Amino acid sequence: MRTVKIFDTTLRDGEQSPGAAMNIGEKLQIAKQLARLGVDIIEAGFAISSPGDFEAIKTISGEVEGTVICSLARAKEADIKRSWEAIKDAPKKRIHTFHSTSEIHLKYQFRIDQAEALRRSVEMVKLAKSFLEDVEFSPMDATRTEIGYLCEVIEAVIDAGATTVNIPDTVGYSIPTEFGAMIKTIREKVKNIDKAVIAVHCHNDLGLSTSNSLSAVLNGAGQIECTVNGIGERAGNCSMEEVVMALRTRSDLFNADTNIITEEIMRSSKLVTKITGMSVQPNKAIVGANAFSHESGIHQDGLLKDKSTYEIIRPESIGLHKTKFVLGKLSGRHAFKTRLVELGYELSDEELNSAFDRFKKVADQKKEIFDQDLEALVSEEFTTVPETYSLVDLSISSGFNSEPTAVLKIRVGEELIEKTEHGDGPIDAIFRAITSITETKSKLLKYEVKAITGGTDALGEVVCSLEEGDRAVSGHGADTDIIIASAKAYINALNKLAARKR
Ligand SMILES: [Zn+2]
């Protein structure tokens, strides 16, 4: 059985999803989870694109072990040097450089000919190779590149030292039979192809990114580039969980598998949802809320007799366990910590103390605390930002015949400010009070409330996406009271915006 490498680009291509910008702490949390998940390569960012990206890659390179850390670089000297600076501390590292090869891109975007694009690609692969062994090259817009020229470029960059050649369907244009045939042609025509791994990077504009990636595997591809939940530029990338579970479930057909620890899939999906604020549709394959719920009576009957009748994947195999009561009001710190360790969370003493305080408050209001509640509680720990603003008190009145009114007390630096505002509804009144106290002018892009578990005493989780200038961030808040959760989420988003200004 062949092993297909999983190259995760949630932190690079995934972050290019509108509103999914992440700070360094958030990127580090995702990178640690990706390492637990067992991905082979983490594309941690695009070093030259911003100081924040550079710092994130550098931090991840210093703290995340067991997987290759990669930085993206255009085929430019400055990009490659900057990438090297960012990743050099990582125990295992890679530079991923790329240049367009399609006629459309060369003619209209770069205004250079094929020979010049080839020359630049080779030269920059050589430069990257002077820093390290592991070099990946992508001919951007490969699926719209003339095949003869594409093969020529691939052969030349392998000669120059590229150890992985990635074939991107940059604009999500290809279809499975065609894409598979392309990989086959590359394997047949490129003389030195056995010296490199063929990777694929498919976009989902036609909903075919997973199918195209799998078709490539059938034709010899050895690495798939993907993201958790399929997030990414435009319609997104190939979704990690789909491609991994397709290979695992149908290994009889593919004769290939990955190094992914599938039991970590659900946790990875939730973490990415929480941090990016991008929810997964309920009917999403593998990680959607309905992916394992059977409604039809006939199906339920079959399942009760034997699971294999209608279930092709065991929910436990992706880390989805039956919701169970774990802790309550009387549970102590030790039980709390033990359960967190079982769930895979390692918290410092300080993080544990603050999470335990929040747990006690929630346990006062909610009889049973489920795993999902705990995850919501501790993941707040992972998404903390310096608190420029902190909520001190809130009271609200609203009713059928009265105007919704919110009174908020917020600490802004050293100062404690209180204001009363009215609004169209309680949430509107609260948000008005927050913007008036903090004197901020951000635009609310998205407001979403979810109940984490069932029951009217469930923890409510709120996501607020705010935009200010060209920055967009998502804030989170969890509380048994959704009004308080809403205020927390809005303030969390403002704190993230404030942290980015520093
Ligand atoms: Zn992409």
Measure 54 CA to ligand 1 centroid, in angstroms: 19
From 70-79, 223-232, 234-243, 397-406, the region with the lowest mean pLDDT: 397-406
Measure 225 CA to ligand 1 centroid, in angstroms: 9
Q: Alpha-carbon distance 476 to 312, whole Å? A: 34
Q: What is the DSSP string of 187-233?
A: HHH-TTGGGSEEEEEEB-TTS-HHHHHHHHHHTT--EEEEBGGG--S
Of the candidates 203, 198, 214, 295, the residue with the CA atom closest to the CA atom of residue 251: 214
Measure 141 CA to ligand 1 centroid, in angstroms: 10
Measure 237 CA to ligand 1 centroid, in angstroms: 7
Q: For 245, what's the count of Cα atoms within 13 Å in the CB-facing half-sphere?
A: 24
Measure 311 CA to ligand 1 centroid, in angstroms: 33
Checking if the pLDDT of 455 tops 80, the result is: no
Query: H/E element holding 93?
Result: strand 93-100
Measure 497 CA to ligand 1 centroid, in angstroms: 26
* Predicted pLDDT at 380: 65
The answer to whether the beta carbons of residues 247 and 254 sit under 8 Å apart is: yes
Helical residues (DSSP H) of 277-385, grouped into ranges? 297-305, 333-342, 349-365, 371-382
Checking if the pLDDT of 381 tops 70, the result is: no
From 2-6, 228-232, 340-344, 428-432, the region with the lowest mean pLDDT: 340-344
Measure 71 CA to ligand 1 centroid, in angstroms: 14
Checking if the pLDDT of 142 tops 80, the result is: yes
Report the SS3 class of residue 378: helix
Measure 170 CA to ligand 1 centroid, in angstroms: 6
Measure 201 CA to ligand 1 centroid, in angstroms: 6
Measure 140 CA to ligand 1 centroid, in angstroms: 9
* Predicted pLDDT at 460: 86
Measure 13 CA to ligand 1 centroid, in angstroms: 5
Measure 21 CA to ligand 1 centroid, in angstroms: 16
Which two tokens mark 436?
A: 């008036």
Measure 28 CA to ligand 1 centroid, in angstroms: 21
Backbone angles phi, psi at 232, to 5 degrees: 150, 180
Of the candidates 61, 51, 54, 50, the residue with the CA atom closest to the CA atom of residue 28: 61
Measure 155 CA to ligand 1 centroid, in angstroms: 22
Checking if the pLDDT of 499 tops 90, the result is: no
Measure 272 CA to ligand 1 centroid, in angstroms: 18
pLDDT bucket at 115, cuts 50 / 70 / 90: very high
Measure 379 CA to ligand 1 centroid, in angstroms: 28
Q: Alpha-carbon distance 33 to 64, whole Å? A: 10
Measure 4 CA to ligand 1 centroid, in angstroms: 19
- The mean per-residue pLDDT over the stretch 339-361 comes to 82
Mean pLDDT of the residues in the chain: 91
**Tens digits of per-residue pLDDT, 388-443?**
999 999 999 999 989 999 999 999 989 999 999 999 999 999 999 999 999 999 99
Question: How does strand 256-257 pair with strand 2-3?
Answer: parallel
Question: How does strand 369-370 pair with strand 405-412?
Answer: unpaired
Interacting residues of 94 by C-beta distance below 8 A, sequence separation 6+: 41, 68, 69, 70, 71, 87, 132, 134, 135, 136, 164
Measure 203 CA to ligand 1 centroid, in angstroms: 6
Measure 233 CA to ligand 1 centroid, in angstroms: 6
pLDDT bucket at 303, cuts 50 / 70 / 90: confident
Helical residues (DSSP H) of 366-471, grouped into ranges? 371-382, 426-438
Measure 277 CA to ligand 1 centroid, in angstroms: 20
How far is C-alpha 123 from the chain's CA centre? 32
Residue with tokens 């695009």: 46
Interacting residues of 436 by C-beta distance below 8 A, sequence separation 6+: 419, 421
* Predicted pLDDT at 325: 57
pLDDT bucket at 335, cuts 50 / 70 / 90: confident
What type of residue sits at position 397? S
From 71-75, 192-196, 236-240, 482-486, the region with the lowest mean pLDDT: 482-486
Radius of gyration of the chain (CA): 25
Q: What is the 3-state secondary structure (H, E, C) of 426-438?
A: HHHHHHHHHHHHH
Measure 197 CA to ligand 1 centroid, in angstroms: 18
Checking if the pLDDT of 450 tops 90, the result is: no
Of the candidates 177, 175, 176, 199, the residue with the CA atom closest to the CA atom of residue 187: 199
The answer to whether the beta carbons of residues 262 and 245 sit under 8 Å apart is: yes
pTM for this entry: 0.81
Measure 232 CA to ligand 1 centroid, in angstroms: 7
